[in-house]
Structure 1
Amino acid sequence: MLCQLSINNFAIVRFLELDFRPGMTSITGETGAGKSIAIDALGLCLGNRADASSVRPGANKTEVSARFSLDDIPLAKRWLEDNDLELDDECILRRTIGSDGRSRAYINGNPVPLTQLKLLGQLLIGIHGQHAHHAMLKSEHQLTLLDSYANHRLLIDTVAASFQRCKQIEADLKQLEASQHERIARKQLVQYQVEELDEFDLKVDEFDEIEQEHKRLANGTELIDTCQASLDILTEGEENNIESLLNRVVSLAEDLQSYDPALSNINTMLNDALIQVQESAGELQHYLSKLELDPTHFAYLEERLSKAMQLARKHHVSPNKLAEHHLALKAELSTLDSDESKLEEIQLQVEASRAAYLSNAQKLSQSRARYAKELDKLVTQSIHELNMPKGKFTIEVNFHPEQMSANGSDNIEFMVTTNPGQPLQPISKVASGGELSRIGLGIQVITAKKVATPTLIFDEVDVGISGPTAAVVGRMLRSLGESTQVLCVTHLPQVAGNGHQHMFVDKFNKAGSTETTMKSLDREQRIQELARLLGGDTITSNTLANARELLQ
């Protein structure tokens, strides 16, 4: 709950330090005194927008701090733990606004972005403003009120997550479909190229092999003539071939070795040379015997080589890279085929994600319908108490599967009849200003009981209410204050008298400067203030008696 609020140099406030207690606190004051100024200042600690106009004239900056007890607020404790912001039994939110308009925010002394103040503030305080009943005319706010009462956060989060997944998959599908024409055209081209290269069927490294074999056959005559000439020199010449000459030298070397063993190495080397010549001649003879000048095979090679070079030029690659290019095109074609399969798969995913969304949205709709009936009875009972004895309130929940959103697929309509014999109609068409205030207040009090926020602020929500109805409103707020801290800014004595405590706002001029103060009233001061609210400036014994009666 809110324990203390300190305000420095905010608007017409010089300095205020306010201590708050559990229960219902009534806040009253003269018209124009600034009864809501403490609420406005507190709003700064909750992350509301502010600018240099918030700073009191002549001051350098505005500073507002709010101290909260975290007893029985597990959500706030968990949030502080998750954000590493020094968890303790208490929490202090602080905000400063300089005369230059620059703002700084702090949680437990730690500088934080404004968004974190807002997130934590939502767990600590709920504010119901005097114009909240006007917002109730909007369908989206009616939905918020119903969901607040139902408190089915998990269902809402599930629907929101399934909606986001659905949107993401639809975006993927849209992107694939947008490129489908280009992809089909590319696939047709690649498929033609692959079929053409499949027909040619050039293997990796085959071009180099063809080129080498073509070169050999193209020079076949020269190879035969040169091989034969080499054989003649080595072994087959009629006179002075190398083999016969070496045989003669080897014979001479053997004679020399017999005379001098030191020449044995020469003999060995000459024998080795003879063997090398004979083996070389054998290899040449074998090669020559296998060498065939097949014109048909040569023509085949020449045609294949020419085709390879032609296709290489067509595909803008070198001939020896054509086979690798063929494999790359096959891989691309496979990818394009998989894209087609992926398109079909995503289309199925879209259908599945929509089905999942609609299933979750229908569960949420059923929950809303169930809690709507519960809320119908409570609000109808409430407006009966608020001097609309024949009134009836109901909530229509209509499920529209074609209307997908993060909040579900429901259209919510608050329906009301205020007089007997009249049919139920949308609240915007039926209720007068006073009736709308009473219905709105009843809904706010009922939904506030279901929300885990430990502090609730009602800022002149009783506008348009008077007489016996005001007394009922006061009792409703006091009852709410038994379980929740309630701060109520009001101008009605019947409401103010129901507060467990009472604070008075006053405005005065001092040395040409306007200043607002706020103080807690004791019992006698409360009687005087209630008498003022009852009778205006003239306080009589009757108004004092009435004031005492209100405090009973």
Structure 2
Amino acid sequence: MLTHLSIRNFAVVKTLDIEFNLGMTAVTGETGAGKSISVDALGLCLGDRADSGMVRTGAEKAEVSASFDISKLPAALSWLEQHELADDHDVLIRRVISSEGRSKAFINGTPVPLQQLKSLGFYLLSIHGQHAHQQILKNDHQLHLLDQYAEHQKLINSVSEHYQTLRNQQKQYQALLEGQQQRDDRSQLLSYQIVELDEFALAEGEFIELELEHKKLSHSQTLLEQSQISFHQLYEAEEFNALSAVQNSLDRLTELQQHDASLTPIVTMLTEASIQIEEASTELRAYTEQLEIDPMRMQNVEARYSQALDLARKHNVQPETLYDLHQELSQEYQDLVQDDSLLDGLKEQLQVLETEYRAVAQKLNISRQKAAKSFAKQVEQHIHKMNMADAEFTITVKHDEFGTPHKLGLDHISFMVSTNKGQAQDKLEKVVSGGELSRIGLAIQVISSSNNQVATMIFDEVDSGISGSTASVVGELLRKLGTSTQVICVTHLPQVAARAHNQMFVTKFSDKKTTETHMICLKENERIKELARLLAGDTLTESAIANAKELLQISNS
């Protein structure tokens, strides 16, 4: 529950500290005194947008802070622990706004982003403004109120999860479907290219071997002739050959080295040279013997080599990468075929997922139908007490079995009402007046709020357009709600204020230079005077005071 609110240099408030108690607290005051400033300040603590206009004139910054006792709010305590912001069973929210419009937010002294304020505020309090009744005219808000009353969040989550799964699958299917023509065109091209490459069937590394063999065969005649000449000069020539020349020199120097030992290294080198020449000659003879001039082989190699070059030019790649290209195109083609197969599989999966979605949406509809009857009955009972004795209120829940899936299901919700006997029911905006809408809206808020998990509820002049005996009923409703929830109600109605367990008075003071707003907690005799003012105006008569005493006595009996 809200325990303390501190405001510094906010709007017309210079300094304000307010302690709050359990039960229902009424906030009253003169028109324009700033009764709603506390509500606006709490809104900032919940993450509302801040601007420089909120800073009191002449001040550098505005600051608002709110303290809450969360000992009986396990969800709020769990949130704080999860975000490592817990501090026993209390929480302090602080918001600072500079005169330039910049703002900072703190939870238990730790700086936090505004989104965290909003997230935590959901567990702490709810604010119902004077324009909240207009929201009830909107179908999406009506659906929200009904779901809140039904307390079937697990069903809503299930529908939402099924919807998201279905939606993701639909996006994937649509993406594949939109690219199908492009894939078909690409597949046809790849099919032609792959058939051509398959027929050529170039093996890995084959082009390098082809290139080497082509070069060899192209120069085979020259290779043969020059190899034979070299062999002849090295080994076979009778008049002179390299081997006999080296051996002759070796023989002469071998005899001479006994006269000069320095010739020994030369003899060694010539010996090795003789051996090398002889081995080279043997190898060269073998080479010339196996070297064949095969015109047919040359023709075959020439044809395959030329075809490889042509295919490489056709595909705009280097000939040595032609094999890799063949593998890449084949893999791409297989992927495209797989995508088409996946498309068929996704279509079948979509049908299954949509069936499952519609099944859980049907369960949600059944729950809403049941809750709608109970909710409508309670609303009708409440508005009968608020001078709408002949009103009939129902909630229609139409299930579109074949409708487009939505994360909230397939239901269309309408609040229907007739305010007079014999009058056909129709949608709220077509039937009710402003005052009737206020009464219906207040009844709906009180009923739906009773299912809220928050400990503090704030009603900011939600009783506008209501007076007389109806106001007494409204006060009774809010007081009843205050027995289980902390209720803070900004009101101008004495019948509502008298029902409160506590009452605060807002007044405005001006010294002709500046204006300040103050809020004080009223004692019983002060409450009587304030109720008398609400009843009779600024001039307090004995009759008004007597009426105020009686009203307060009846309200608290």
TM-score (norm 1): 0.88
**Alpha-carbon distance between aligned partners in 1 of 2:219 and 2:181, rounded to the nearest angstrom:** 53
**Alpha-carbon distance between aligned partners in 1 of 2:57 and 2:113, rounded to the nearest angstrom:** 26
The aligned amino acid for 2:390 is: K
Q: CA deviation at 1:190?
A: 2.7
Aligned residue in 2 for 1:496: 497
In the TM superposition, what whole-angstrom CA distance separates every residue of 1:40-92 from its partner, at most 9, and x where no partner exists? Answer: 22222222223222222333322211111111111211222222224322111
Aligned residue in 1 for 2:140: 140
Contact 1:77 1:87 in 2 (8 A): no
Q: What is the number of equivalent residue pairs in this alignment?
A: 552
Q: 528-537 or 265-274: which moved more?
A: 265-274
Q: Residue 540 in 1 paired to residue 545 in 2? A: no
Q: 143-152 or 215-224: which moved more?
A: 215-224
Aligned residue in 2 for 1:105: 105
Aligned residue in 2 for 1:260: none
Q: 55-64 or 479-488: which moved more?
A: 55-64
Aligned residue in 1 for 2:3: 3
**Alpha-carbon distance between aligned partners in 2 of 1:503 and 1:173, rounded to the nearest angstrom:** 62
In the TM superposition, what whole-angstrom CA distance separates every residue of 1:97-118 from its partner, at most 9, and x where no partner exists? Answer: 2232222222212222222222
Q: 345-354 or 17-26: which moved more?
A: 345-354
Aligned residue in 2 for 1:475: 476
Q: CA deviation at 1:249?
A: 10
**Alpha-carbon distance between aligned partners in 1 of 2:515 and 2:2, rounded to the nearest angstrom:** 28
- Give the match's secondary structure for 1:450: coil
Cα pair distance change 1:415/1:275, threshold 3 Å: same
Cα pair distance change 1:539/1:301, threshold 3 Å: same
In the TM superposition, what whole-angstrom CA distance separates every residue of 1:116-157 from its partner, at most 9, and x where no partner exists? Answer: 222222211111122222211111111111122122233333
Aligned residue in 2 for 1:62: 62
**Alpha-carbon distance between aligned partners in 2 of 1:421 and 1:50, rounded to the nearest angstrom:** 50
Aligned residue in 2 for 1:549: 554
Cα pair distance change 1:225/1:116, threshold 3 Å: closer
The aligned amino acid for 1:451 is: N
Contact 1:146 1:372 in 2 (8 A): yes
**Alpha-carbon distance between aligned partners in 1 of 2:254 and 2:101, rounded to the nearest angstrom:** 117
Cα pair distance change 1:419/1:233, threshold 3 Å: same
Q: CA deviation at 1:408?
A: 2.6
The aligned amino acid for 1:218 is: S
Q: CA deviation at 1:540?
A: 2.6
Aligned residue in 2 for 1:315: 315
Cα pair distance change 1:273/1:491, threshold 3 Å: closer
Cα pair distance change 1:312/1:513, threshold 3 Å: closer
- Give the match's secondary structure for 1:519: strand
User: Where in structure 2 are the equivalents of 1:102-501 lying within 5 Å?
Assistant: 102-230=102-230, 232=232, 283-400=283-400, 401-501=402-502
Q: CA deviation at 1:444?
A: 0.8
Q: CA deviation at 1:242?
A: 7.4
Cα pair distance change 1:278/1:379, threshold 3 Å: same
**Alpha-carbon distance between aligned partners in 2 of 1:44 and 1:495, rounded to the nearest angstrom:** 26
Contact 1:127 1:459 in 2 (8 A): yes
**Alpha-carbon distance between aligned partners in 1 of 2:119 and 2:362, rounded to the nearest angstrom:** 29
**Alpha-carbon distance between aligned partners in 2 of 1:549 and 1:225, rounded to the nearest angstrom:** 134
Contact 1:532 1:539 in 2 (8 A): no
Contact 2:77 2:86 in 1 (8 A): no
**Alpha-carbon distance between aligned partners in 2 of 1:396 and 1:317, rounded to the nearest angstrom:** 69
**Alpha-carbon distance between aligned partners in 1 of 2:90 and 2:507, rounded to the nearest angstrom:** 30
Aligned residue in 1 for 2:260: none
Q: CA deviation at 1:20?
A: 0.6
In the TM superposition, what whole-angstrom CA distance separates every residue of 1:188-229 from its partner, at most 9, and x where no partner exists? Answer: 323222221211112222222223223333333334444444
Contact 1:143 1:412 in 2 (8 A): yes
Q: Residue 32 in 1 paired to residue 37 in 2? A: no
- Give the match's secondary structure for 1:105: strand
Q: CA deviation at 1:436?
A: 1.8
**Alpha-carbon distance between aligned partners in 2 of 1:225 and 1:9, rounded to the nearest angstrom:** 109
- Give the match's secondary structure for 1:388: coil
Q: CA deviation at 1:504?
A: 1.6
**Alpha-carbon distance between aligned partners in 1 of 2:393 and 2:144, rounded to the nearest angstrom:** 17
- Give the match's secondary structure for 2:415: strand
Q: CA deviation at 1:265?
A: 11
**Alpha-carbon distance between aligned partners in 1 of 2:37 and 2:355, rounded to the nearest angstrom:** 50
In the TM superposition, what whole-angstrom CA distance separates every residue of 1:315-362 from its partner, at most 9, and x where no partner exists? Answer: 222323322222232233233333333444444454444444434433
Contact 1:503 1:521 in 2 (8 A): yes
In the TM superposition, what whole-angstrom CA distance separates every residue of 1:8-42 from its partner, at most 9, and x where no partner exists? Answer: 22222222211110011122222333322221222
Cα pair distance change 1:280/1:494, threshold 3 Å: same
Contact 2:24 2:478 in 1 (8 A): yes
In the TM superposition, what whole-angstrom CA distance separates every residue of 1:158-199 from its partner, at most 9, and x where no partner exists? Answer: 333443444444334444444444433333323222221211
Q: CA deviation at 1:266?
A: 11
Which structure 1 residue ranges, 5 or more long, are not aligned?
258-262
Cα pair distance change 1:551/1:530, threshold 3 Å: farther
Q: Which runs of 4+ in 1 moved over 6 A?
A: 238-257, 263-278
**Alpha-carbon distance between aligned partners in 1 of 2:38 and 2:270, rounded to the nearest angstrom:** 120
The aligned amino acid for 2:554 is: E
Contact 1:531 1:546 in 2 (8 A): no
Q: CA deviation at 1:530?
A: 2.3
**Alpha-carbon distance between aligned partners in 2 of 1:255 and 1:52, rounded to the nearest angstrom:** 116
Cα pair distance change 1:432/1:265, threshold 3 Å: closer
Contact 1:151 1:451 in 2 (8 A): no
- Give the match's secondary structure for 1:495: helix
**Alpha-carbon distance between aligned partners in 1 of 2:98 and 2:242, rounded to the nearest angstrom:** 110
**Alpha-carbon distance between aligned partners in 1 of 2:146 and 2:107, rounded to the nearest angstrom:** 32
The aligned amino acid for 2:66 is: A
Between the aligned residues of both structures, percent identity stands at: 48
TM-score (norm 2): 0.88
Contact 2:2 2:69 in 1 (8 A): yes
Cα pair distance change 1:264/1:486, threshold 3 Å: closer
The aligned amino acid for 1:470 is: A
The aligned amino acid for 2:536 is: G
Cα pair distance change 1:540/1:301, threshold 3 Å: same
In the TM superposition, what whole-angstrom CA distance separates every residue of 1:299-330 from its partner, at most 9, and x where no partner exists? Answer: 11111121112222222223233222222322
- Give the match's secondary structure for 1:127: strand
**Alpha-carbon distance between aligned partners in 2 of 1:545 and 1:270, rounded to the nearest angstrom:** 140
Which structure 2 residue ranges, 5 or more long, are not aligned?
258-262
Please report the RMSD computed on the Cα atoms of aligned residues, expressed in angstroms.
3.3
Cα pair distance change 1:277/1:412, threshold 3 Å: same
Q: 219-228 or 427-436: which moved more?
A: 219-228
Cα pair distance change 1:416/1:238, threshold 3 Å: same
The aligned amino acid for 1:40 is: D
**Alpha-carbon distance between aligned partners in 1 of 2:267 and 2:118, rounded to the nearest angstrom:** 106
Aligned residue in 1 for 2:49: 49
**Alpha-carbon distance between aligned partners in 1 of 2:34 and 2:248, rounded to the nearest angstrom:** 135
**Alpha-carbon distance between aligned partners in 1 of 2:270 and 2:493, rounded to the nearest angstrom:** 134
